[in-house]
Chains A and B, each alone.
Chain A
Amino acid sequence: MRLDVRKTYKLFIGGKFPRSESGRTYELNDHQGKFLANVAQASRKDARDAVVAARAAQSGWASASAYNRGQILYRIAEMLEARREQFVAEIRAMTGVSSSKANAEVDAAIDSWVWHAGWSDKIDSVAGSMNPVAGPYFNISTNQPTGVVAILAPQDSALVGLVNSIAPAIVSGNTVVVVASEGLPLSAITLTEVLATSDLPGGVVNMLTGSAKEIGPWLASHQDVNAIDLEGAHSPVELEISAAETIKRVIRANSFSRGDSRGSLQHILALMEVKTVWHPKGH
């Protein structure tokens, strides 16, 4: 008889797996109330470190070719597929859903990565424009990532909602600081293990587990965060007011559906900036 080796669920910041600098954890029980794990409870300082890591990674990730970003997102789908049993087990442990339901969620999550991967090199073809200005000028509008995005992930989704929050942000070159669902965090941490083995540069996705209520306000007011997704926010109105201080882009809760095997281009574009470039034409 052998005792299994349990996993320590840690944060994911800058491509590394630190414990919370606060040393805090919270106890997660399964759907029947039985102890599952001690999950790291991120602090505002962890959030601060995560923003620094996200900012450091942003220009590199944005300047990777769209083809490269697409391949990495597709690689994430491959890695997720390879570890589907683990995700199914964790989802079932946390929520108690049937195997077929848990499998369906993992299917949707994998397919969503694939769907998003394909967008990376098509966004500008569809949403950019060459503008026929009334003068001798070349004039083009492209879409560029907004920068660092804070995501308060949906509280009621273990995996697919999380994927449908992260993928539309990073496909275009944003980097993200995610606060995972407080009640369903295990698949979020396992997802970071997938990300860490998918050639995704460190710092592109930073995962915090803990309380969105506690961390959300620090991210909403952080001056180096360019956008915030309030899907899983505890008090969205206050956060929106706080985000207004630096004119952050805000995705209000329920703006986009996040339960499917595909996302929405408008969601991707909500985290992008249109840049218009002019140049004279003449010899």
Chain B
Amino acid sequence: MRSISPEAIVGSRITNQSLRRWLHSLPGVDKVGLEARAASLGTRSIKTASKAWALDAAIKMMDLTTLEGMDTPERVKSLCLKALTPDPTDLSTPRPAAICVYGDMVKYAKATLKDSGVYVAAVATAFPSGRASLRVKLEDTKDAVRAGADEIDMVIDRGAFLAGEYLEVYKQIVAVKEACKRNDGSYAHLKVILETGELQTYDNIRRASYLAMLAGGDFIKTSTGKVTVNATIPITMLMLQAVRDWYEETGELIGVKPAGGIRTAKDAIKYLVVVRETAGETWLNPDLFRFGASSLLNDVLMQRQKLKTGHYSGPDYVTVD
């Protein structure tokens, strides 16, 4: 647990006013400069050995995700089996970090994955909109934890955030964190989805990141994958700057999870470059960086095969999930 209290960080009792003052005292973000830096990192050329390392790292950091209304136990089971054996032609292929599903699917995922080391993450708190009473959100969370979820991906109340009700957003995260507590006193890992596409400005995203970290989130996550704009490199870079600076201030290591829209190995490698050059090597670790993705895995597997065989692979040579 953290050694420094939220009050000490904010420098005051936690009220809406003190949170506002604190969040609005953070350095501004210049959009053009941030995006220019992100674009310049996007031109890094990752070859041979470094590419092989990055492809495996991308798999190990993946939250293999299915979040559809049409999800069924069979579908979830199939995805879990894919996680256990991503590439049947190459058993040295690492496994993803976790499977990410809706709360009611946790038990099926858990049944397949057992103690394989692949975690089960559940989205909760009236995902994706978060438009429900706190009571419902907490029940949603507790359900998933009871079903065996190792990790909870919650959404913040964007409406409250945009209305300036920072205290409300803060309290909800604190409450959900408490709902992650298991009977044995341990906690499911809490990822806080900011839904950056709805916060819209980089200044908002930085403030929401700090608010989530203050409230006890273990990870800050960009998106639900359900809105028009999901993870982008500049947004992820900004959140990496936030966790890096937070660590320097508090000694607390917080993870970052971009989610939604990351479909190719090339994209994933760009993200890893950004992690390395923004937050540093410490964050190149599944405990501190995750990709939320559904179709990314197969593209990474094809690139992996290409590196191994020297030939370009095709979709028929990786398994559908």
> A residues touching B (Cβ–Cβ < 8 Å)?
135-137, 280-283
Residue of A nearest to B203 (CB): A283
Complex Cα distance, B35 from A94, in Å, reads: 70
Chain B: how many interface residues by the 8 Å CB criterion? 6
Which residues of chain B are near A282, meaning CB under 8 Å?
30-32, 35
**B32 with A137: CB separation less than 8 A:** yes
Which residues of chain B are near A136, meaning CB under 8 Å?
31-32
Complex Cα distance, B30 from A280, in Å, reads: 8
Q: Which of B12-47 contact A (CB under 8 A)?
A: 30-33, 35
Sampled A-B contacts (15; CB under 8 Å): A135-B32, A136-B31, A136-B32, A137-B32, A280-B30, A280-B31, A280-B32, A280-B33, A281-B32, A282-B30, A282-B31, A282-B32, A282-B35, A283-B31, A283-B201
Most chain B beta carbons < 10 A, residue from A135, A137, A280, A281: A280
Residue of B nearest to A135 (CB): B32
Q: Is the interface of A mostly helix, strand, loop or mixed?
A: loop
Which residues of chain B are near A281, meaning CB under 8 Å?
32
Residue of B nearest to A136 (CB): B32
Complex Cα distance, B111 from A167, in Å, reads: 90
Complex Cα distance, B206 from A185, in Å, reads: 69
Complex Cα distance, B201 from A282, in Å, reads: 9
Binary CB contact string for chain B from 172 to 202 against chain A (1 if under 8 A, 0 otherwise):
0000000000000000000000000000010
Q: Is the interface of B mostly helix, strand, loop or mixed?
A: helix
Number of interchain pairs (Cβ within 8 Å) = 15
Cβ distance A209 to chain B, nearest Cβ, rounded Å: 55
Residue of A nearest to B200 (CB): A283
Which residues of chain B are near A137, meaning CB under 8 Å?
32
Which residues of chain A are near B35, meaning CB under 8 Å?
282
Which residues of chain A are near B33, meaning CB under 8 Å?
280
Complex Cα distance, B33 from A135, in Å, reads: 12
Complex Cα distance, B36 from A280, in Å, reads: 11
Complex Cα distance, B201 from A283, in Å, reads: 7
Cβ distance A83 to chain B, nearest Cβ, rounded Å: 57
Which residues of chain B are near A135, meaning CB under 8 Å?
32
Which residues of chain A are near B31, meaning CB under 8 Å?
136, 280, 282-283
Complex Cα distance, B31 from A280, in Å, reads: 8
Cβ distance B27 to chain A, nearest Cβ, rounded Å: 15
Complex Cα distance, B31 from A282, in Å, reads: 5
Nearest 7 CB-CB pairings of A with B = A282-B31, A280-B32, A282-B32, A136-B32, A280-B30, A283-B201, A280-B33
Cβ distance B172 to chain A, nearest Cβ, rounded Å: 27
Most chain B beta carbons < 10 A, residue from A136, A137, A282: A282
Complex Cα distance, B34 from A136, in Å, reads: 12
Which residues of chain A are near B201, meaning CB under 8 Å?
283
Which residues of chain B are near A280, meaning CB under 8 Å?
30-33
Complex Cα distance, B32 from A135, in Å, reads: 9
Residue of B nearest to A279 (CB): B32
Complex Cα distance, B30 from A282, in Å, reads: 7
Cβ distance B24 to chain A, nearest Cβ, rounded Å: 16
Which residues of chain A are near B32, meaning CB under 8 Å?
135-137, 280-282
Residue of B nearest to A280 (CB): B32
Which residues of chain B are near A283, meaning CB under 8 Å?
31, 201
Complex Cα distance, B146 from A112, in Å, reads: 90
Complex Cα distance, B31 from A69, in Å, reads: 39
Cβ distance B117 to chain A, nearest Cβ, rounded Å: 43
Cβ distance B105 to chain A, nearest Cβ, rounded Å: 39
Complex Cα distance, B226 from A26, in Å, reads: 90
Complex Cα distance, B203 from A282, in Å, reads: 11
Cβ distance A64 to chain B, nearest Cβ, rounded Å: 33
Cβ distance A279 to chain B, nearest Cβ, rounded Å: 9
Cβ distance A219 to chain B, nearest Cβ, rounded Å: 45
Complex Cα distance, B32 from A137, in Å, reads: 8
Complex Cα distance, B32 from A281, in Å, reads: 7
Complex Cα distance, B27 from A200, in Å, reads: 45
Complex Cα distance, B30 from A111, in Å, reads: 51
New contact pairs (8) apart from A135-B32, A137-B32, CB-CB < 8 Å: A136-B32, A280-B30, A280-B33, A281-B32, A282-B31, A282-B35, A283-B31, A283-B201
